[in-house]
Structure 1
Amino acid sequence: MNKFNLRDEYWNSLSDKDRELYHIIRPIPSAAYTVDQELSRVDPMLKCWSDDLESAGGQLELEPDFQRGHVWTPEQRTAYMESFLRGRAPKRILFNCPGWISNHTKGGDIKQSHMQCIDGLQRLTTMRLFMRDEVQVFGGITASLLNGTSFDPRRTGNMFNIAIYEFNTRRDLLQFYLDLNSGGTVHSKNELARVKALLDGA
């Protein structure tokens, strides 16, 4: 298997130009695993994952060194949850964990069963705070005030998506992070430069 997760047979059939284009374009690979999760299960899910990973000698790291930390303001958190409840917000959270599904991810410098949040930390944190009634929406409504209503966070319509990748080298993980976040204006030049420096040292 090559770094683009393409079948060897296909990779070997490509022309030199096609292979060169793969290295230039670096198409984003598909996640090894995806699952939809109920909003109300966000903290129990993370606790279960943390326990399972620790029992396997790994860990769950929500704020790895390449993440920018918690940068959303209370107003941004409120706006996100209002958009979430309206069905308009991005709901995907990306993680990396070598060995989550397959065994071919051994041998890199990222340990098996070491899960890191790649993208969506602000969304994930906001969902967790909302479920703890620490984020209010629509002028003072909390998650617990929505219980038993059409907008109950425990309803199956209030789902978010988890995607887990299996990069086993820090270099590939950091390059993926940069490719994912370099196209927009969400990350500052200083934030991207900091991760590029980490990539250079990987």
Structure 2
Amino acid sequence: MEHRLTGLQRFSPAVSIIQIDSYIHWMAHGALSFDAEYQREYVWGHAEQQAFLATAASGFPLGHVALCRLPDWGNIDGPYIEVVDGKQRLVTMKLFVNDQIAFCHQGKEFYWSDLNRTERRIFTNASLPAIKLDDANLRQRLEFFYTTNFTGVPQSCDHKRRVSEMLHAAGK
């Protein structure tokens, strides 16, 4: 049916609730591709890594990632799921699980291999929903990446400081 917004909708992504455990499995089996040409390099430093890991352990929502299963996924060796958005979060988890970075908590460093099964489950049971762009062509994936990463107004340092002060004043 024709209407005034015809042509505006270009694809219909699906959202799946996925636990960190599934991402760890995909990473261990080389299923995820982090190297799409439009992706920036891994840029998170210690502060961003620790904030993400602390959020994962806290049970707070982790946002989402966007994934696209490549059209020829059943016939290729190597990565077959393109990470369209969420590279920094997923690479951080990969570094942690591979003992390349530690999680710092209460003045102590914990590497993945130091954690017992119960402690690991705190991370692996965390949910990181995925927007599935399996039917999206390259142009649509680029549009999604561009819209997700380059629109909106960044928060000011003053606003961040004000909310941080409010958080501190609210106590535990």
What is aligned with 2:157?
none
**Correspondent of 1:67 among 23, 39, 46:** 39
What is aligned with 1:29?
12
**Correspondent of 1:129 among 95, 102, 105:** 95
What is aligned with 2:25?
44
What is aligned with 1:198?
none
What is aligned with 2:67?
95
CA distance in 2, matches of 1:75, 1:156: 21
CA distance in 2, matches of 1:27, 1:168: 9
CA distance in 2, matches of 1:92, 1:117: 11
The one-letter amino acid paired with 1:164 is: K
State how many pairs are aligned: 146
Tell me by how many angstroms 1:160 deviates: 2.8
Tell me by how many angstroms 1:173 deviates: 1.6
Matches within 5 A, 1:1-202: 13-15=1-3, 17-19=4-6, 23=8, 26=9, 29-31=12-14, 34-39=16-21, 41-48=22-29, 50=31, 60-99=32-71, 114-133=80-99, 134-138=101-105, 139=107, 140-149=109-118, 151-153=119-121, 157-184=125-152
Tell me by how many angstroms 1:78 deviates: 0.9
Contact 1:84 1:91 in 2 (8 A): no
Q: Secondary structure at the match of 2:29?
A: helix
Deviations 1:34-70 (A, max 9, x none): 352343x5343234363xxxxxxxxx52121111110
| Alignment RMSD (CA, Å) | 3.1
What is aligned with 1:5?
none
Contact 1:96 1:166 in 2 (8 A): yes
Tell me by how many angstroms 1:89 deviates: 4.4
CA distance in 1, matches of 2:123, 2:103: 18
Normalising by structure 2, what TM-score? 0.67
Q: Secondary structure at the match of 2:19?
A: strand
Normalising by structure 1, what TM-score? 0.58
Tell me by how many angstroms 1:144 deviates: 3.3
